[in-house]
Amino acid sequence: MALNIVVGIKYVPNTTNVNIDPKTGTLVREGVPSVVNPHDLVAVEFALELKDRYGGKVTALSMAPPQARAGLEHVLGMGVDEAILVSDRKFAGADTLATSYVLAKAIEKIGDYDLVVMGHETIDSSTAHIGAQVASWLNLPYIYYVTGLEYRDGYFYVTRELEDRVERYKLSKPSLIAIKMHSRIPRHVRLEYKLRAVLDSPIKVWSNDDLGLDPNCIGLRGSPTVVSKVEFTPKVPRKNIVFEGDIRESVQKLIKALLEEGVL
């Protein structure tokens, strides 16, 4: 009954001041404090609950520069058994297509897995592409907005919550699911697990030498996406107009002002 679970981790800049490299259009990550993508923490919690229930092993997988080790140490502290950091300068500048390709190949290399669990998007780019694309590369069933999973008779019975309905699916093994944000509260780290992360360094690092992927399919070269321009929402100065006096008149004045501004 034991499950071998792979969970995807992205270490993302924890800031609202995201800087974009004007030349490449990619995110500038240097010097920005990072955290594990909050959606992925929910996915880790989901995976660890499955491990608590059915036994097995949880492996965290991340494609990132070396500083993502800190993020992997965090999820190891939560109880993830081992972590793989896929890291190579050759992977830099990847869009979601090249990223999902590398992740899919890394999951293939892990080989012996029953379930891949991911957050359904990341807070820095919010494409929600990776789950679907990795599932396509690996030809796996894929369900997102997942809130629950039962493992019976070699099948996953998955619950998916949408705004107006709950859907249930029966998935074969292996499958890929993306977890709905806020469906779980990620557990805190434990001293014992953190100690293991520090003392036994269970983070494996795989470069492209380990994966042997075609350079034309990875990194900036394997990325057909072109960010032509990034525009930020303009800051609208507040006008600080206060309508005082009779409530009816004030409301009329407010409506008139809003009409003049073109917002009504």
Partner 1 sequence: MQHKFDVIVIGAGPAGSSAAYNLAKAGFNVLVIERGRKPGAKSMFGGRVYKAPVEKAFDDLDKAPIHRWVVKERISMVYDEEALTIEYDGRGRHSFTTYLTDLSSWMADKAVSAGAKLVTEVVVDKLLIEDGWVKGIVSGDEKLYADVVVDAEGINRLVLERSGLVEKLRPEHVALGFKEVLKLSKEDVNKFFGLDDDEGLAWVFMGEYTDGLPGGGFLYTNKDSVSLGLVIYLGHAVKELERHVYDLIERVRLSRIFNKYFRDARVMEYSAHMIPADIKALRPKRLVYNGLVIAGDAGGFLLNLGYTYRGVDFAAYTGYLAAKAISEASGDYSLESLSKYERYIDESFVGQDLKRFSGVHDLYENRRLFKEYPMLAINMMRRLFNLEYESTRFKDAFNESRKGVVGLTTLLKDLWGVYRKL
* Residue number with CB closer to partner 1 (23 or 188): 188
* Residue number with CB closer to partner 1 (28 or 198): 198
Least distance from C-beta 142 to partner 1, angstroms? 32
109, 190, 214, 252: residue in contact with partner 1 (rule CB under 8 A): 190
Site for partner 1 contains 109 (CB under 8 A): no
Site for partner 1 contains 192 (CB under 8 A): yes
* Residue number with CB closer to partner 1 (78 or 115): 78
Site for partner 1 contains 187 (CB under 8 A): no
Rounded to whole angstroms, the Cα distance separating 225 from 206 reads 25
Q: Confirm if 174 and 112 have CB atoms less than 8 A apart.
A: no
Cβ partners under 8 Å of residue 236, min gap 6 = none
Q: Confirm if 241 and 257 have CB atoms less than 8 A apart.
A: yes
* Residue number with CB closer to partner 1 (195 or 251): 195
Q: Confirm if 252 and 243 have CB atoms less than 8 A apart.
A: no
Cβ partners under 8 Å of residue 217, min gap 6 = 98, 101
Least distance from C-beta 176 to partner 1, angstroms? 29
* Residue number with CB closer to partner 1 (191 or 241): 191
Rounded to whole angstroms, the Cα distance separating 260 from 264 reads 8
Q: Which of 75, 84, 81 is nearest to 187 (CA)?
A: 75
Rounded to whole angstroms, the Cα distance separating 243 from 262 reads 18
* Residue number with CB closer to partner 1 (33 or 262): 33
Site for partner 1 contains 198 (CB under 8 A): yes
- Tell me how far apart the terminal alpha carbons of the chain are, to the nearest angstrom: 59
Of 4-12, 38-46, 191-199, 234-242, the segment contacting partner 1 by CB under 8 A is 191-199
74, 90, 105, 160: residue in contact with partner 1 (rule CB under 8 A): 74
Least distance from C-beta 254 to partner 1, angstroms? 30
Token pair belonging to 84: 């793989």
92, 189, 203, 254: residue in contact with partner 1 (rule CB under 8 A): 189
Give the binding-site size for partner 1 (rule: CB under 8 A). 12
**What pairs with residue 116 in β-bridges?**
6, 176
The helix/strand/coil state of 152 is strand
Burial label for 110, CB within 10 Å (0-12, 13-18, 19+), is middle
57, 129, 194, 253: residue in contact with partner 1 (rule CB under 8 A): 194
Of 41-49, 96-104, 186-194, 221-229, the segment contacting partner 1 by CB under 8 A is 186-194
Rounded to whole angstroms, the Cα distance separating 114 from 5 reads 6
Site for partner 1 contains 199 (CB under 8 A): yes
Q: Which residues bind partner 1 (CB under 8 A)?
A: 70, 74, 77, 188-192, 194-195, 198-199
